[in-house]
Amino acid sequence: MRVLLIEDDTETAEYIRRGLGELGHGVDHAKDGHEGLMMATSGGYDVLVIDRMLPKLDGISLLKVLREGGTRTPVLFLTAMGSIEDRVKGLESGGDDYLVKPFAFSELHARLVSLCRRPPLQEVRTVLTLADLEMDLLKRTVVRAGKVIELQPTEFRLLEYLLRHAGRVVTRTMLLEHVWNFNFDPKTSVVETHISRLRAKLDRGFDSGLLHTVRGAGYKLDVAS
């Protein structure tokens, strides 16, 4: 088990490093939030142990940056901030576990081993592609064969859903639920209208169409109908 310990208290850090080292685990230590962020983004760690109150960049902010950047390494917060509100905030920020100081080393070790046993989370996909179509979710851009396609916010959400289900038929009800959150009368033509507009933007001027209507079933984004 390779651990990154982000902890500004020297005695606590040495206690953890020595204990985990004696059990055969590798531990790297960062003494502040900025250093911890640089080391964490380098990858290669099985688990991160983060103190909440860190110099330069606090633990909550540090983890938010990591999660937004796609890092899915398990995180255990180790902190003296032990109220229910503090625990909830730590977990809601992307933490996987929360241990309050003072702590028993045996419990810390057990929690870290447990976190490392969990199946790895899928990396968040920020770029979706199909054939010559590319959608960048962070930059909010859509390009087909090098041509930038301008989409309205609802069209963007619609295309994202279709791309995440590329090659599969999605029904009108599925689109109403996931793109519009059922905020329209089921009898409305909003789906058909937006599909028509999106198809015109995606396929007009290209040799092959990507957005297909499957009669009696729904819609499919694919290289072939």
pLDDT bucket at 120, cuts 50 / 70 / 90: low
pLDDT bucket at 29, cuts 50 / 70 / 90: very high
pLDDT tens for residues 40-78?
Answer: 987 678 999 999 999 999 999 999 888 888 788 999 999
Which pLDDT value is given to residue 225? 59
Same domain, 136 and 75: no
Q: Does the pLDDT at position 146 exceed 80?
A: yes
pLDDT bucket at 184, cuts 50 / 70 / 90: low
Mean pLDDT on 196-224: 93
Which pLDDT value is given to residue 19? 95
pLDDT bucket at 87, cuts 50 / 70 / 90: confident
- Write out the residue range of the structural domain in which residue 165 sits: 127-221
Helix (H) or strand (E) holding 59: helix 59-68
Which pLDDT value is given to residue 185? 65
**Domain termination site, one of 117, 152, 175:** 117
Q: Does the pLDDT at position 123 exceed 60?
A: no
| Cβ atoms 36, 4 nearer than 8 A | yes
Mean pLDDT on 185-196: 85
Same domain, 98 and 139: no
Among 62-76, 116-130, 155-169, the minimum mean pLDDT is found in 116-130
16 falls within a domain: yes
CA 74 → CA 16, 30, 41, 151, 209, distances in Å?
17, 17, 13, 36, 42
**Domain termination site, one of 95, 117, 139:** 117
Same domain, 166 and 144: yes
Mean pLDDT on 164-169: 89
CATH no. for residue 189? Answer: 1.10.10.10
- The span from the CA of 48 to the CA of 195, in Å, is 44
Which pLDDT value is given to residue 124? 53
Q: 121: helix, coil or strand? A: coil
CB atoms within 10 A of CB 128: 17
| Angle between helix 190-203 and helix 153-164 axes, rounded to 10 deg | 80
Mean pLDDT on 116-133: 75
Same domain, 93 and 132: no
Q: What is the dihedral of CA 95, 97, 102, 105, to 10 degrees?
A: -130
Helix (H) or strand (E) holding 153: helix 153-164
Percent of the chain topping pLDDT 70: 93
Q: Which residue has the tokens 């169409």?
A: 209
Same domain, 59 and 141: no
pLDDT bucket at 186, cuts 50 / 70 / 90: low
Which pLDDT value is given to residue 94? 86
- The span from the CA of 80 to the CA of 117, in Å, is 26
Mean pLDDT on 187-209: 92
77 CB burial (10 A radius; 0-12, 13-18, 19+): buried
CB atoms within 10 A of CB 41: 12
Name the DSSP letter for residue 123.
Answer: P
Which pLDDT value is given to residue 119? 65
pLDDT bucket at 133, cuts 50 / 70 / 90: very high
122 falls within a domain: no
